[in-house]
Amino acid sequence: MGTYFTADTHLGHEPIIEKCARPFSNLREMHEVIRRNWNEIVGPDDTVYHLGDVALRGRGMSSAELARYLASLNGRIVVLRGNYDSDRTCRAFRQAGVSVMLGRHVVSDEDGLQYSAGHYPPVSKTARDLCAPFQRDPERPVLAGHLHATRPANRFRGFSWVDVGVDANDYAPLGAGDVYDLWQEALALDRDTVAPEDGDGGTVWRDLTEGAP
């Protein structure tokens, strides 16, 4: 049995393709690639922690379609709810046998290694306070999504984390071993990888490493 992590799939959310420059022509293609990548990596007896923003239920994907899609994915899925995961969407998760948790949690993999897992990265004071006990501990990775980062290893104001979102990881879940290696990379960073700037509707996070070697 293996343990995997992912985030920010945004199933049924067509504008995310343009917003995040995803290499898909439409939702159908995006859904198929995410499902194929998932099932090639994850086995039926594995566990996948999805760190939120699973889907935007509505015109792009009905509740019934979402439940069927989730049921077609391998493994036991545990969702740590994100800001796009509405109450009605979470009901569709449960219809497909998917567990749902709120907030940030300490989870363990098959070898007993602990992870601080949640949707929001340590870029706000609240999130930093929750992640603080894990910071600088090489054996306890901090995992998040939300920012749609283009690289998995990140740092902001002295706090490190691994972005397990699909945009940073070739639209596929990350295994526990890969996450551990990326956490060491994140801890070794000596400069911020993201920065806030004002944008329409709130803060936009700019990638400081874009174009860097």
Residues 203 and 10: their CA atoms lie apart, in Å, by 19
For residue 131, the domain's CATH number is 3.60.21.10
Residue with the larger pLDDT of the pair 35 and 89:
35
pLDDT of residue 124: 79
pLDDT in tens, 114-148: 999 999 998 878 888 888 888 888 888 999 999 99
The answer as to whether 159 is a domain residue is yes
The answer as to whether 104 is a domain residue is yes
pLDDT average, residue stretch 177-186: 94
The answer as to whether 88 is a domain residue is yes
Q: Quick check: 160 pLDDT over 70? A: yes
Mean of all residue pLDDT scores within the chain? 89
Provide the domain count of the chain: 1
pLDDT of residue 81: 93
The answer as to whether 213 is a domain residue is no
Q: Quick check: 61 pLDDT over 50? A: yes
Report how many helices (DSSP H) and strands (DSSP E) the chain contains, helices first: 6, 12
Give the domain range for residue 193: 3-207
Residue with the larger pLDDT of the pair 134 and 60:
134
